[in-house]
Chains A and B, each alone.
Chain A
């Protein structure tokens, strides 16, 4: 079974631009979560989607948004980029059934804002 895939793996943008990151979950996983990882703040939850609906949202400004498609693939968008948005953006897909729970991460997209 293929793992969580994220594209692109690396991205360089300038302040003020916007960016869209993509995530394809593990087949059969309907839930996708996004996290931001920085050396100073660690892993911070951005938002979570289940069946195309945002189920939970972290404490990030409205410049951060996301969506999920009917095939469970998800995208996140960051508008008006700031230098502080430089981070590793991680996507995770989850599966829960009958007391079993799994959450697996993709390799991440490294975003550098200059």
Chain B
């Protein structure tokens, strides 16, 4: 993958278990937060987003939680599958009238059968 990185945190889960990936963001004024999944050799794939005026949003098998008090974002994946194995990034859009995203360092999710 692109972020092999010696310091890339890794989460290992068994197939069928739930996964929780955490992210601390930097700007209390950020208005949008997005989770991306990146598989080896591919560009980041949009998973789910959440606006700053929400604290929870659900998609298909995924839930994003936003805690603005502590500037924390989490991605929950239900019934994790081998195909979920990838690097996951959180990103924040920090400034109004721009599409610049600030990315976290990423978390590698490994799913074992």
Main SS at interface, chain A: strand
Q: Are A56 and B100 in contact (CB under 8 A)?
A: yes
Contact of A64 with B by CB under 8 A: no
Contact of B45 with A by CB under 8 A: yes
**How many residue-residue contacts, CB under 8 A, span A and B?**
70
Q: Are A103 and B3 in contact (CB under 8 A)?
A: no
Name 21 A/B residue pairs within 8 A (Cβ), A-sorted.
A31-B99, A33-B100, A35-B103, A37-B3, A39-B3, A39-B5, A42-B105, A42-B106, A43-B44, A43-B89, A55-B99, A56-B95, A56-B99, A88-B2, A94-B99, A96-B99, A99-B51, A101-B49, A101-B93, A105-B43, A105-B45
Q: A: which residues have CB within 8 A of B?
A: 4, 31, 33, 35, 37-40, 42-43, 45, 48, 50, 55-56, 58, 88, 90, 92, 94, 96, 99, 101-108
